[in-house]
A = this chain, B = another copy of it.
Amino acid sequence: MNSNHKKDSSTNRGRPRSEAVHRNILDATLILLTEVGIEKLSIEMIAQYAGVGKTSIYRRWTNKEALVVDALEQIKPELNTSYQDTLQETLYELAESFFGQMDNPLGRQMLSVLVSTLSGSSQISEAFWEKHSLPKTKEISSIIDYFRQEEGLSDRVDIDLASDLLIGYVTYLLLFKTPSRDLDTSLKSGIELIINGLKK
């Protein structure tokens, strides 16, 4: 399920790895990430806070980045894809829910980590991004597709493009425009414009 871990023990001889230790490390990582930020975060700090030896961390993850990415997995936002009466409403619910889940220190840290690691072009985060972003694009695309005829949308336009526009806009708001005053209005207007652009 998760490929950031170091490879599992080849044999299952000897004492098995403690699941409690695993959880303690991940929990400590998230808490400290929120409290001190990724810059000041250190493995020694995590080990101490989790009441764990450094060895137990390095046995499971190769470095800080891998651990952080793994820890952030736990808080990845769920897309709320409940279909409403109109495309507008449906996308708004989805965007608003997504925004709500990310609009906090941890969520922003997550995006930030993503961007930093991506710009370092590590394979880990590419995989991470593909796993999380692509499905979102597809889900949104299928929502739009579902309302296509009902709302009289053009066949010509690339539906994935609209998804990217929406995702890009929401991401942009999160990264650069928070705290935002008229968030709801911004989201609604943006979605409206995109939908209108899809029409005819």
| Interface residues of A, Cβ cutoff 8 Å to B | 37, 39, 108-109, 111-112, 114-116, 118-120, 129, 133, 157-158, 161-162, 164-165, 167-173, 175-177, 186, 189-190, 193-200
Contacts and interface: CB of A to CB of B under 8 A. Distances in A.
A115 B111 CA distance: 9
Nearest to A193: B197
Contacts of A119: 37, 108-109, 111-112, 175
B196 A120 contact: no
How many chain copies does the complex carry?
A: 4
Contacts of A161: 186, 189-190, 193
Contacts of A109: 119
Contacts of A114: 176
Nearest to A170: B168
Nearest to A198: B193
A196 B112 CA distance: 32
Contacts of A167: 172
Given A176-B133, A196-B200, A39 B115 contact: no
